[in-house]
Structure 1
């Protein structure tokens, strides 16, 4: 259970002053549903109101706090004109200017003859100093009510900044003093304040420098969040390790047949990865390994050899892919190799029904079927293996951890190998897959040709179409990808449909269109027509990003390339260059490019190494964007920025493994404080494994 000391932080935001049902909804949309979410919503700027000059000395365009006497009110004759309040001090005149206000309210707030303190941005208009819509107006005796240094928060429309600041202040008042969970020697070395002090200081910056992610309090909070992430992963991993495994060692005969049938030798990183996998399978604990490899680095062959190791030991293996197209493709590419080895393989997807499906299930249950390739359909209750020993999961970030567990529950002490073609920077690998061992495929198989990448401004579209028309006449096939972003989905869908119509005028009927809003079977039919050569050009949104294999496709056009992440551009580019002809990738961009966008496109031109690209993407765009966190299953960090706090992540990982080695049940006083940390950052699942473990 969540410790009682944290209860005040998990009250709904509507429990805070000023956040009723309407504004509470906006605060929830901005930061999250609980009080603690507002604490994690840190300021992005400051307004300094400490500058208090005389009227004559106030510089143009600066925020100033002035003490003035109210001389007169001048309500507008025409409602389109402003309401003006004339104020003075010993050195000059200040006009407070208001648009669209009711005069009687202002007359009551600022009676003539009264001395007031006003704060806001001032500007000289001819010879008069003006302050349009002051931020604060108080009687001189209430001067302390004005915040001298005011934090500025990222906002959402309709929520007043003042209301949000007031709610955050109240949330800070309710922050409990928590027992210290950090190692004392580490804290002293870093010279960091307590958690309580850090959260308070992060919300009350005194100047721009204190907003830095590297300030002591922000660094401390980032480390707390990273430690909670790494400790949670270490506990889950420890729990996995405790589960009894079984030793799987094959005789090598089937694998030898496949290696003989391959048209090329394994690369050195394929061989090294296989050694690691075989060692894991032979050990008496369960394997949980991530196989990272760029598009076309030969992951499928590694997966097949690992599966054959299980078959040689008298067991079965399964390969699960996120989409039907990908599952079908895996089955087709593995079938000839399995035939060479004399191994039975079958495909099972949601589309298989009736007798054909039952026949596959019967062969699987009897053990006659050695390898099964499929989609989510593998999870269904009536899918029973005789003895499943290895589950291979392709494109892990499309599946949740629970689905990984569901598949491994289909057998006894199942080893799990997870594959991804999305090159992930090392720091992200730690945060997302810290519970796994990692193998990386760093070379391309022999025979893969480099892909020529060029950047072209969108205003040269006609030239591009002419060039592509020439390629099509030479018998080549072309992908044309348009962006699709959730926020502007309707506009983007209209744009991709329009582009399809525009290109149809040039290419006639041999052009297809696929996008995410189409029904699965319709999408598959268009993709199949393109793969079989019945279409020359495929206009698509990023649905083709993962795994479509058309060796005849030699040109990839990506429109508005600046709107894609580098990892995504790299994935898309990997769809061509799979045959024996030279291939090219054309990145069409909007001529009005930002510097960051220009740098990203340059990286794409300069390198084809997915890992270099992924590191650069992290540096330029931050972790949340790199894999499109929302759909990738990567943790979202609120306080840590991996592009800045990479070193802290490594330290958090070391600390977490030390903690788990010394105090696996978190029973010591520091261990108890660390339990609170896990609940504070909602890593409840890891805290629960302590109880169930």
Structure 2
């Protein structure tokens, strides 16, 4: 049951004055929620200083300013397209107010010559003359009115004005109890100079004065609230997990050593370190929740295979889950080619499997004769029963929702879980993004992996690129060609146009993959490229992760200046997987902007995914953090990871201490923390 003190915050958004049936869905779309609390979390993007300046001489072009002056003259337009002009004088100079298509009677009523007026708006300059076009505020000081000293400015959606959103947010502040208990420790509050919870909300939505430092302090307070709420939930989940039992996978390392000895190459130090970390977790009597994070080609699948071997030799089954049919089949081939010759029973299960073959697989899982299964979401269908599932391995984990992962884990009592991701995230942010997961990082690539030569090429040379692609195909190589969009009228950089153009120019089979195709059509096109039935695969970014074609040696990315750094790196990782020299050609449309040039230069300079992730974060900010928002791992409402990364370790330490202390903590603070979790934990939105 929700605490009664929070009831007003979880009232529907149309309980606020001025929000009726028509505006309700518009507000809900804007704030991504349906409650008063969601509106309060829609914080201003910036604040405008509306204090009256001392004189016109202080005005700077481009700034928002508020000034007072006497109406000196009104000049009517000389034709229909010319503006009305009002001249103000303040003793130091003139300011011209510009109005297009205005009612002259209204203007003369607003600006009688000889009277004082206060105006506020964006200052401009034209032919050496200070101007203000359509001021935001026009005020008669004789009436005792003044513009607000500071005006919060919000992001908006169609159908809403800033004034409407601000008025609703101010009304929503009345829903926050003034005497809510404090959940942040007194020491930290004093050290950071943070206000109370309600003061922080008021200081952002209804500030009395313009003070940028105070705005940041208020925002930071709320960001820490969110960090603490999340870390409390994660700490409690860890504690709860430590109290659950899980299979004790304590076999010797002999079988893993045998697999390692059968490899044509040596494990990297990073792989050995990760295998040791995972093995230690598997030997614990409570469920492992570990992420294996590694760059493209760092050897994550092999580490996962070693974990599966550990599970099987301890008398349990292991299940690999991949997001698509093609990736599951590809992974099955990798796992079975290594383990089947050594006597392990490996099978695949996807939506494609039907009839007796599917029934045989289901029986093998149920009686335990199948030790390792590789599949798609088909693995968590009701008909699938495991004999003794001990380990769940989820590949490309960000492509699955939390519920999907939990469905597979629910096939057994407390199985261990290893999730894998090829999308590097800045090391400083990995823990913030992945919550309560322990993390193993593969930061080396296996010896002998061919470097990929990356070149930036203007699209004026596209004919040369197509000729080079043709020569590569004549040598038996295959080519990826990525386009920024599926189809567009008169757009030669669309996938549909490019596939047809390449087919005509080179007279070879060309595959086409994009997001509008049905899943089976995509899988068929990818499979045709993988087996060599098509020599070129034209695609949108749907092939960003997972597709493994060793004969593919060229990656062409058209309009590369429009892609993010991390995305370009992921696409580049589709080549360089065989023993031939590989190339990534970044086709750009000149001239390049400064930011785009820096992105392309960074990609040319390094293949280190973590270094690229740091650069991407620096250049773009957190954004969608490489797609992890899809997984539910990141859904921050206040936290700005670029500014607030330092708050998360503090919150984590405090949360773990409080959870471990349990009943020994201050009862009032524990009560307050329960309120905070209801407001800002990752679960609160679903619960509300």
SS at match of 2:315: coil
- Partner Cα distance (1:359, 1:202) in 2: 62
Question: Counterpart in 1 of 2:547?
Answer: 548
Q: After TM superposition, give the deviation of residue 198 of structure 1 in Å.
A: 2.2
Seen in structure 2, the aligned counterparts of structure 1 residues 144 and 636 have a Cα distance that, compared at 3 Å, is: farther
Q: After TM superposition, give the deviation of residue 77 of structure 1 in Å.
A: 9.1
- Partner Cα distance (1:108, 1:333) in 2: 81
Point out the more displaced range, 2-11 or 526-535: 2-11
Superimposed CA distance per residue, residues 579-617 of structure 1 (whole angstroms, 9 cap, x where no aligned partner): 111111111223233333222222211211112222222
1:224-243 correspondence runs (5 A): 224-243=225-244
Seen in structure 2, the aligned counterparts of structure 1 residues 211 and 344 have a Cα distance that, compared at 3 Å, is: same
- Partner Cα distance (2:113, 2:629) in 1: 56
- Partner Cα distance (1:57, 1:252) in 2: 76
Q: After TM superposition, give the deviation of residue 497 of structure 1 in Å.
A: 0.9
- Partner Cα distance (2:459, 2:260) in 1: 47
SS at match of 1:623: coil
Question: Counterpart in 2 of 1:691?
Answer: none
Seen in structure 2, the aligned counterparts of structure 1 residues 562 and 189 have a Cα distance that, compared at 3 Å, is: same
SS at match of 2:473: helix
1:30-49 correspondence runs (5 A): 30-33=30-33, 34-49=35-50
Q: After TM superposition, give the deviation of residue 514 of structure 1 in Å.
A: 1.0
| Residue 28 (structure 2) pairs with residue 28 (structure 1) | yes
Aligned residues of 1:246 and 1:413 also touching (Cα < 8 A): yes
Question: Counterpart in 2 of 1:642?
Answer: 641
- Partner Cα distance (1:208, 1:303) in 2: 55
1:400-479 correspondence runs (5 A): 400-479=401-480
- Partner Cα distance (1:60, 1:599) in 2: 30
Q: After TM superposition, give the deviation of residue 147 of structure 1 in Å.
A: 1.0
- Partner Cα distance (1:339, 1:125) in 2: 78
Q: After TM superposition, give the deviation of residue 417 of structure 1 in Å.
A: 1.2
Question: Counterpart in 2 of 1:518?
Answer: 517
Q: After TM superposition, give the deviation of residue 685 of structure 1 in Å.
A: 5.9
| Residue 499 (structure 2) pairs with residue 500 (structure 1) | yes
- Partner Cα distance (2:401, 2:663) in 1: 26
Seen in structure 2, the aligned counterparts of structure 1 residues 618 and 490 have a Cα distance that, compared at 3 Å, is: farther
Question: Counterpart in 2 of 1:10?
Answer: 10
Point out the more displaced range, 40-49 or 79-88: 79-88
Question: Counterpart in 2 of 1:533?
Answer: 532
Question: Counterpart in 2 of 1:398?
Answer: 399
Superimposed CA distance per residue, residues 370-426 of structure 1 (whole angstroms, 9 cap, x where no aligned partner): 111110001111101111111111111111222222112212321111111122223
Q: After TM superposition, give the deviation of residue 358 of structure 1 in Å.
A: 0.8
Aligned residues of 1:259 and 1:265 also touching (Cα < 8 A): yes
Aligned residues of 1:44 and 1:211 also touching (Cα < 8 A): no
| Residue 136 (structure 2) pairs with residue 135 (structure 1) | yes
- Partner Cα distance (1:393, 1:673) in 2: 37
Aligned residues of 2:602 and 2:612 also touching (Cα < 8 A): yes
Aligned residues of 2:332 and 2:348 also touching (Cα < 8 A): yes
Point out the more displaced range, 50-59 or 403-412: 50-59
1:139-288 correspondence runs (5 A): 139-177=140-178, 178-203=180-205, 210=212, 215-252=216-253, 254-288=255-289
1:573-592 correspondence runs (5 A): 573-592=572-591
Q: After TM superposition, give the deviation of residue 654 of structure 1 in Å.
A: 1.5
Point out the more displaced range, 602-611 or 550-559: 602-611
Seen in structure 2, the aligned counterparts of structure 1 residues 411 and 456 have a Cα distance that, compared at 3 Å, is: same
5+ unaligned residues in a row in structure 1: which ranges?
689-693
1:293-312 correspondence runs (5 A): 293-312=294-313
- Partner Cα distance (2:279, 2:56) in 1: 79
Question: Counterpart in 1 of 2:668?
Answer: 669
Q: After TM superposition, give the deviation of residue 226 of structure 1 in Å.
A: 1.6
Point out the more displaced range, 16-25 or 86-95: 86-95
What TM-score do you get using the length of structure 2 for normalisation?
A: 0.90
Cα RMSD over matched residues? Answer: 3.2
Q: After TM superposition, give the deviation of residue 91 of structure 1 in Å.
A: 7.9
Aligned residues of 2:398 and 2:628 also touching (Cα < 8 A): no
Seen in structure 2, the aligned counterparts of structure 1 residues 58 and 386 have a Cα distance that, compared at 3 Å, is: closer
1:589-668 correspondence runs (5 A): 589-663=588-662, 668=667
Q: After TM superposition, give the deviation of residue 55 of structure 1 in Å.
A: 7.1
Seen in structure 2, the aligned counterparts of structure 1 residues 73 and 15 have a Cα distance that, compared at 3 Å, is: farther
Seen in structure 2, the aligned counterparts of structure 1 residues 278 and 101 have a Cα distance that, compared at 3 Å, is: same
SS at match of 1:591: coil
Seen in structure 2, the aligned counterparts of structure 1 residues 8 and 102 have a Cα distance that, compared at 3 Å, is: farther
Aligned residues of 1:484 and 1:493 also touching (Cα < 8 A): no
Q: After TM superposition, give the deviation of residue 349 of structure 1 in Å.
A: 0.5
Q: After TM superposition, give the deviation of residue 484 of structure 1 in Å.
A: 4.2
Seen in structure 2, the aligned counterparts of structure 1 residues 26 and 104 have a Cα distance that, compared at 3 Å, is: farther
SS at match of 2:454: strand
Seen in structure 2, the aligned counterparts of structure 1 residues 377 and 661 have a Cα distance that, compared at 3 Å, is: same
Aligned residues of 1:19 and 1:163 also touching (Cα < 8 A): no
Q: After TM superposition, give the deviation of residue 649 of structure 1 in Å.
A: 1.7
- Partner Cα distance (2:653, 2:51) in 1: 44
- Partner Cα distance (2:402, 2:51) in 1: 52
Point out the more displaced range, 268-277 or 32-41: 32-41
Point out the more displaced range, 574-583 or 111-120: 111-120
- Partner Cα distance (1:445, 1:155) in 2: 49
Aligned residues of 1:321 and 1:393 also touching (Cα < 8 A): yes
Aligned residues of 1:53 and 1:64 also touching (Cα < 8 A): no
Seen in structure 2, the aligned counterparts of structure 1 residues 246 and 686 have a Cα distance that, compared at 3 Å, is: farther
Aligned residues of 2:249 and 2:283 also touching (Cα < 8 A): yes
1:121-132 correspondence runs (5 A): 121=122, 131-132=132-133
Point out the more displaced range, 325-334 or 556-565: 556-565
Aligned residues of 1:81 and 1:99 also touching (Cα < 8 A): yes
Provide the aligned length of Structure 1 versus Structure 2.
685
Aligned residues of 1:46 and 1:207 also touching (Cα < 8 A): no
Q: After TM superposition, give the deviation of residue 157 of structure 1 in Å.
A: 4.1
Seen in structure 2, the aligned counterparts of structure 1 residues 66 and 316 have a Cα distance that, compared at 3 Å, is: closer
Seen in structure 2, the aligned counterparts of structure 1 residues 62 and 360 have a Cα distance that, compared at 3 Å, is: closer
SS at match of 1:587: strand
Q: After TM superposition, give the deviation of residue 672 of structure 1 in Å.
A: 1.2
Q: After TM superposition, give the deviation of residue 665 of structure 1 in Å.
A: 9.9
Aligned residues of 2:435 and 2:633 also touching (Cα < 8 A): no
SS at match of 2:646: helix
Point out the more displaced range, 428-437 or 140-149: 140-149
Superimposed CA distance per residue, residues 514-567 of structure 1 (whole angstroms, 9 cap, x where no aligned partner): 111112222222222212222221111112122111111111111122322222
Point out the more displaced range, 107-116 or 606-615: 107-116
Superimposed CA distance per residue, residues 609-643 of structure 1 (whole angstroms, 9 cap, x where no aligned partner): 11222222222222233313542433132322212
Aligned residues of 1:427 and 1:642 also touching (Cα < 8 A): no
Aligned residues of 2:295 and 2:424 also touching (Cα < 8 A): yes
Superimposed CA distance per residue, residues 32-57 of structure 1 (whole angstroms, 9 cap, x where no aligned partner): 33333333333333433323456799
Aligned residues of 1:235 and 1:686 also touching (Cα < 8 A): no
Aligned residues of 1:233 and 1:686 also touching (Cα < 8 A): no
Question: Counterpart in 2 of 1:482?
Answer: 483
Aligned residues of 1:252 and 1:312 also touching (Cα < 8 A): no
Q: After TM superposition, give the deviation of residue 18 of structure 1 in Å.
A: 4.0
